[in-house]
Amino acid sequence: MNAPKPAAARAPLMSLVDAMHDLLNRVQALSATETVATFDADRRVLAQDLTSALQVPPNDNSSMDGYALRVADVTEAGTVLRVSQRIAAGHAGHALEPGTCARIFTGAPMPAGADAVVMQEDTVEVGGDIHAVHIQAVPEVGQWVRRAGEDVTRGAVVLARGERLSPASLGLAASLGLSHLSVLARPRVALFSTGDELVMPGDVPPEAMKPGAIYNSNRFFLRALLQRMGCEVSDLGIVPDRREATLAALKTAADHHDLILTSGGVSVGEEDHIKPSVQALGSLDLWQIGMKPGKPFAYGTVRRDTPGAACHFIGLPGNPVSSFVTFLLLVRPFLLKLQGVPASRLQALPPATSLPAHFTVARADKRREFLRVRRNAAGGLDLFPNQSSGVLTSAVWGDGLVDNPAGTTIAQGDLVSYISFADLLA
Ligand code: AMP
Ligand code: MG
C-alpha cells in the first residue's frame, strides 16, 4: 500500500497568474548598462530615451520621380513649363525660377518656392530645343512632397528607456544619426541540468546508451531560448543527483550570475535535490503551479559571498515540454523585467487569438492546460495527439499553445485561446 502523501504535496496549487505576479514582483531591472553598436542592438533594452537632434526627413523632398513646380503656375491641364534645373537625391537645388519647373527625383530636396511635384507619368516632354514639359493635370499644393519632420520632429523622444529594440527600431535609431546605443546589461545566467540519467549527445552513440540513459535535450533548447532572450549563458553542464554536487554547483554559480536556471530535480522524490539545496543556501519562495504541463516550478534565491547579496534561482521541471512551456510563460517575462522592460509593458501572457478547435478534449483537467496545437489550412487548430509532458515532438510539430482554463472540456468548433510560439519566441 502507498504511504499517504505528505501534507505539503497536497497543498493547493498556486495559479499561474499569481505565480507570474509574484515572480515579477521579486525581480528588479539590472542597473548595469553598456554601449553597443546600433548594428548589434537587436533585442537589447534601451537604457535611456532617444531624443532626436534633428528632424527626419531633414528637408521637404520629393516622393516621386517627376517635376517640382509652383501650383499657381499651372492654371489648367496642358500648361507648358520650362525645366530650369535638375535635382537628384543627395544634391541641393536652388530657388525655383517663377514660371518654370525642376526635374526632380525621389528623395531629392524640394527647391525653394516649389510647392508640389507632378509625377513624370503625368507629363509629356515638349520636343525641340527648349527643355520643357506639358503638365497634364492641375496639381494640388503638397502633392508628392514628403514634409520635413513628418517622420520625426526635432527634440522628440523617438524611443523610450525600457523599449526592447527590434530591427525596425534599429533603423529608426540610425535615422537619427546614432551609431551606438546605451542598453541595459545582458543578464548573466548559469544554466545546469540535473539527472543521473542524462548523457550529452556526442559522448555516447545511440547504440551504446546504457539502459535508463537518455540524451540531455533540455540543455539545448534552454540554452537557445536564453540566447534569444539576450542572456550571457554560462552552461555548467549536468549536475549529478547528489546533494553535495548540487550545493557546490549552486554556490559557485551564485557569485557571478544574475540567475541560476536549472531543469529537473524540483519534484518531491528523494532524488530531487534542488529544493533542499536552494533552501540550505538561500530561500525557496514559490512552488507548484496549477498549470499543465509545468506543475513543479521553483523560484528562490541563493546567497552570494557578499553579505546581503543574492542570485535569483529558477528551477524548471525536468520533463522537456514542461521545461519548454514554463520557460516561455514564466522565465521569459522574468528575463524581460530583469533587462529593464517596465512592468507596465509586460503583459501577463502574450495576446491570444480566438480560433476554432478542430479537435475535442473530452476529459477536463483540474489544472489550466497549455495544449500543443497547430493552425490548419481551414483556419482552425489541430491538436497534437500525444500531450504527454515528455513528448518534445509536440512542441516541434505545434506552432502554439491553446490556453485552456481549468476544468474545461473542448468540443469540435469551440472557440479557444491560441497563443503562437512566434509571439513567445520574439
Ligand atoms: P525530474 O524533474 O528530474 O524528476 O525529471 C522528470 C523527467 O524529465 C524524467 O523523465 C527525466 O528523465 C526527464 N528529464 C530531466 N532532465 C532532462 C533533460 N535535461 N533532458 C531530457 N529529459 C530530462
Ligand atoms: Mg531528475
Question: Which CATH number does the domain housing residue 245 bear?
Answer: 3.40.980.10
Confidence label for 287 from pLDDT (cuts 50, 70 and 90)? confident
Rounded to an integer, what distance in angstroms lies between the CA atom of residue 213 and that of residue 54? Answer: 62
Pairing of strands 198-199, 180-184: unpaired
The answer to the question of residue 11 being in a domain is no
Domain at 360, CATH number: 2.40.340.10
Extract the C-alpha cell encoding 270.
528523494
Q: Is 216 in the pocket of ligand 1 (CB under 6 A)?
A: yes
- The last residue of a domain, from among 146, 176, 199: 146
Q: Which of 9-13, 354-358, 393-397 comes out lowest in average pLDDT?
A: 9-13
2 pLDDT exceeds 60?
no
127 pLDDT exceeds 90?
no
34 to 44, 165, 274: CA distances (angstroms): 10, 15, 34
Long-range contacts of 391-396 (CB under 8 A, 24+ apart): 391/321, 392/217, 392/320, 392/321, 392/324, 394/321, 395/320, 395/321, 395/324, 395/325, 395/421
Task: Report the pLDDT value the prediction gives residue 6, as an integer from 0 to 100.
Answer: 53
- The last residue of a domain, from among 84, 116, 146: 146
176 & 200 share domain: no
Task: Report the pLDDT value the prediction gives residue 167, as an integer from 0 to 100.
Answer: 97
45 pLDDT exceeds 80?
yes
- The last residue of a domain, from among 320, 345, 370: 345
Domain at 41, CATH number: 3.90.105.10
Ion ligand 2 residue ranges (Cβ < 5 Å) = 195, 264-265, 318
Cα 420–Cα 424–Cα 426 angle in degrees, nearest 5 = 110
Distance 265 CA to ligand 1 centre (A): 8
Task: Report the pLDDT value the prediction gives residue 1, as an integer from 0 to 100.
Answer: 43
Share of the chain above pLDDT 70, in %: 97
The answer to the question of residue 87 being in a domain is yes
Mutate to test the pocket of ligand 1, among 196, 200, 214 (most ligand atoms within 8 A of CB): 214
73 & 217 share domain: no
Q: Which of 63-72, 80-89, 125-134 comes out lowest in average pLDDT?
A: 125-134
Q: Is 263 in the pocket of ligand 1 (CB under 6 A)?
A: yes
Long-range contacts of 105-112 (CB under 8 A, 24+ apart): 105/62, 105/65, 106/62, 106/63, 106/64, 106/65, 107/61, 107/62, 108/61, 108/62, 109/59, 109/60, 109/61, 110/59, 110/60, 110/61, 110/62, 110/68, 110/145, 111/68, 111/85, 111/87
251 DSSP 8-state letter: H
The answer to the question of residue 285 being in a domain is yes
Q: Is 277 in the pocket of ligand 1 (CB under 6 A)?
A: no
Instruction: Give tens-digit pLDDT for 105-125.
Output: 999 999 999 999 999 999 999
178 & 113 share domain: no
The answer to the question of residue 418 being in a domain is yes
Rounded to an integer, what distance in angstroms lies between the CA atom of residue 405 and that of residue 416? Answer: 10
195 & 176 share domain: no
Extract the C-alpha cell encoding 2.
502507498
274 pLDDT exceeds 60?
yes
String of b and e for 285-309 (b: at least 16 CB within 10 Å)? ebbbbbbbbbbbbbbbbbbbeeeee
237 & 375 share domain: no
Ligand of minimum distance to the alpha carbon of 317: 1
Extract the C-alpha cell encoding 182.
546605451
Distance 40 CA to ligand 2 centre (A): 38
Task: Report the pLDDT value the prediction gives residue 7, as an integer from 0 to 100.
Answer: 47
Domain at 65, CATH number: 2.170.190.11
pLDDT, the chain, mean? 94
The answer to the question of residue 120 being in a domain is yes
For residues 345 and 162, is the Cβ–Cβ distance under 8 A? yes
141 & 279 share domain: no
410 & 296 share domain: no
Domain count, the chain: 4
Q: Is 52 in the pocket of ligand 1 (CB under 6 A)?
A: no
186 DSSP 8-state letter: P
413 pLDDT exceeds 70?
yes
Residues 166-179, mean pLDDT to the nearest whole number:
96
Distance 168 CA to ligand 2 centre (A): 43
Q: Which domain holds residue 97?
A: 61-146
Closest CA to 68 of 100, 114, 22: 114
Instruction: Give tens-digit pLDDT for 184-210.
Output: 999 999 999 999 999 999 999 999 999
Confidence label for 216 from pLDDT (cuts 50, 70 and 90)? very high
Task: Report the pLDDT value the prediction gives residue 409, as an integer from 0 to 100.
Answer: 98
The answer to the question of residue 8 being in a domain is no
239 & 375 share domain: no
Q: Is 340 in the pocket of ligand 1 (CB under 6 A)?
A: no
Share of the chain above pLDDT 90, in %: 88
47 DSSP 8-state letter: S
200 & 337 share domain: yes
229 & 117 share domain: no
Q: How many CB atoms lie within 10 A of CB 243?
A: 11
363 & 412 share domain: yes
Instruction: Give tens-digit pLDDT for 225-257.
Output: 999 999 999 999 999 899 999 999 999 999 999
86 pLDDT exceeds 90?
yes
Task: Report the pLDDT value the prediction gives residue 60, as an integer from 0 to 100.
Answer: 97
Whole-model pTM above 0.85? yes
Task: Report the pLDDT value the prediction gives residue 270, as an integer from 0 to 100.
Answer: 74
116 & 251 share domain: no
413 to 203, 208, 354, 362: CA distances (angstroms): 48, 47, 11, 13
Residues 300-305, mean pLDDT to the nearest whole number:
96
The answer to the question of residue 10 being in a domain is no
The answer to the question of residue 152 being in a domain is no
